Amino acid sequence: MFSVEDTEKIILDAIQPLTATETVTLDAVAGRILATPVSSELDYPHEDNSAMDGYAARSRDLSQATSDHPVTLNIIEEIPAGVAPSHRLDKGQAARIFTGGMLPLGADTIIMQEETEREGDQVKVFSAPESGQFVRKQGSFYQAKQCLLPVSIPIKAPEIAILAAMQCREVSVYCRPRITMFSSGNELVMPNETLKRGQLVDSNQYALKELVKQQGGVAIPLGIIRDDKEALKSAIAQAISSSDLVISTGGVSVGDYDYIESILTELGGTIKINSVAIKPGKPLTFATFPNCYYFGLPGNPVSALVTFWRFVAPAIKKLSGQTSNIEPTFVTAKTQQALKANGKRETYLWGKVSAIGGEYQFHLAGGSHSSGNLINLAQTNALAVIPVGETQISAQKTVTVMLIN
Ligand SMILES: Nc1nc2c(c(=O)[nH]1)N[C@H]1C(S)=C(S)[C@@H](COP(=O)(O)OP(=O)(O)OC[C@H]3O[C@@H](n4cnc5c(N)ncnc54)[C@H](O)[C@@H]3O)O[C@H]1N2
Ligand code: MOO
Ligand SMILES: [Mg+2]
């Protein structure tokens, strides 16, 4: 049995990022991973412009301005945002300007409207501004041709705004990994089927489809496969030949119908992991094929989710070409309830973490923490981690907490 730490390392060491790339437009770039660094031909700001509504002026004309002895300037034009100025400021002149308006030649400072008094075509200024005050200088935020966005980062709303602002209308991204998933089990039915005695609805596949999409993978759900070795074998053979990664749930423990590991071996896979000191999730199975990776997650609904969050999500990130922020995020929190574990496996207990008064607090979900109980997972956002060797963390003590969404 491998420790959680060793398991994470074995999995991440085995995963080689996909190298295929494609070009996508701005509208389709959300959630994708950049395959080449992006730069722009534009400076940002594109020109010197004003950060305030007020007046553009020459600071040297105003060096003697005080509240008792204001300096009066002649207004020669008005410059709203989007309109290029048509005059150069000479001695004693100002231009009415609005936020985002381009600085006229000759101007080197902006005086806020609130600090002036307007009289017809003139404006009184009551203090001496510094040169450069409220001026957003051309290229001061970004200089053309420098690296704008580095390779291997996920594109989210801020990056989309940056690409749009800098007219990078098409970018090269890594192709999304194709991730096939299925549930194994004779007891499983679809949510719309009438339940016979002893049957259970396949909930795992619904959760996994969503989680795979959240990680940027293309989810290819195969549905439910019976615990029939030949049926399973042909489904798995087909899945590994047509996807980058396969995720199944169920059939990885020691029961008579738990066929996954033997099938993976028969199909030529290398079993890297088949047992982990984690609760829930002990029989997690991970295998590699020449062009595909395989995660056999335990069938219990919480075990499937916990092992996905802990091991599969980082693997998908690495496979997708991401190079940083791959591992889950852990924070230290004060637990509001006592947490119990058996001390033998690293134990993950689900609940809710919130930031209160400058510290994280962890609230354990009420009800059973059985790996068969998915009901009290609702509205949770964190897993408290109790290390091997510890059987209890008292209320108000600190605990490491893994964020799950
Ligand atoms: N003798 C032992 N028995 C078990 C051990 C063990 O070490 N020795 N390990 C237990 C642990 S821990 C886990 S976790 C489970 C893992 O079981 P499998 O991965 O083999 O999964 P199944 O046997 O197929 O099912 C287990 C459980 O989960 C339900 N299930 C399965 N698939 C789904 C699904 N798609 N949606 C919802 N629920 C599902 C299934 O009905 C079973 O109740 O093994 C323990 N046993
Ligand atoms: O390790 Mo299992 O996932 O507890 O039921
Ligand atoms: Mg089983």
Instruction: Provide the mean pLDDT of the chain.
Output: 97
The verdict on ipTM greater than 0.90 is: yes
* Residue 174 CA: distances (Å) to CA of 48, 156, 213, 314, 357: 36, 15, 15, 16, 41
Number of structural domains, the chain? 4
pLDDT higher than 80, residue 300:
yes
Q: Is 249 in the pocket of ligand 2 (CB under 6 A)?
A: no
Q: Burial-class residue 169 by CB neighbours within 10 Å (0-12, 13-18, 19+).
A: exposed
Instruction: Supply 404's token pair.
Output: 């799950």
SS3 for 49?
strand
In a domain, 325, yes or no: no
pLDDT at 405: 72
Quick one: 130 and 57 in the same domain? yes
Quick one: 100 and 120 in the same domain? yes
Domain that holds residue 384: 330-403
Residue listed under structure tokens 């690293």: 346
pTM for the full predicted model? 0.92
Residues with CB under 6 A from ligand 1: 183, 185, 187-188, 200, 202-205, 249-255, 258, 280, 282-283, 298-301, 303, 371-372
Closest residue to atom 34 of ligand 1, CA basis: 202
Nearest to 313 by CA among 238, 399, 210: 210
55 band by pLDDT with thresholds 50, 70 and 90: very high
What is the CA(226)–ligand 2 centre distance, in A?
A: 21
Quick one: 159 and 234 in the same domain? no
Quick one: 98 and 148 in the same domain? no
**CA 283 to ligand 2: nearest atom:** 1
**CA 371 to ligand 1: nearest atom:** 14
End-to-end CA distance of the chain: 28
In a domain, 324, yes or no: no
pLDDT higher than 80, residue 19:
yes
Task: Please report the DSSP string for 64-108 in residue order.
Answer: T--SSS-EEEEEEEEE-TT----S---TTEEEEE-TTPBPPTT--
Quick one: 310 and 216 in the same domain? yes
Quick one: 247 and 192 in the same domain? yes
Quick one: 216 and 114 in the same domain? no
> Which of 275, 299, 319 is the C-terminal boundary of a domain?
319
pLDDT at 252: 93
Quick one: 105 and 236 in the same domain? no
Quick one: 34 and 152 in the same domain? yes
In a domain, 58, yes or no: yes
Q: Is 248 in the pocket of ligand 2 (CB under 6 A)?
A: no
**CA 298 to ligand 2: nearest atom:** 3
Cα pseudo-dihedral 15, 16, 22, 25, rounded to 10: 50
What is the CA(24)–ligand 3 centre distance, in A?
A: 43
DSSP state of 286: E
> Which of 116, 136, 156 is the C-terminal boundary of a domain?
136
pLDDT higher than 80, residue 168:
yes
The pLDDT tens digits of the residues spanning 231-248 come to 999 999 999 999 999 999
The pLDDT tens digits of the residues spanning 363-386 come to 999 999 999 999 999 999 999 999
180 band by pLDDT with thresholds 50, 70 and 90: very high
Instruction: Tell me the best of 258, 282, 373 to mutate to test the pocket of ligand 2, counting ligand atoms within 8 Å of each CB and taking the most.
Output: 282
Q: Is 282 in the pocket of ligand 2 (CB under 6 A)?
A: yes
Quick one: 222 and 299 in the same domain? yes
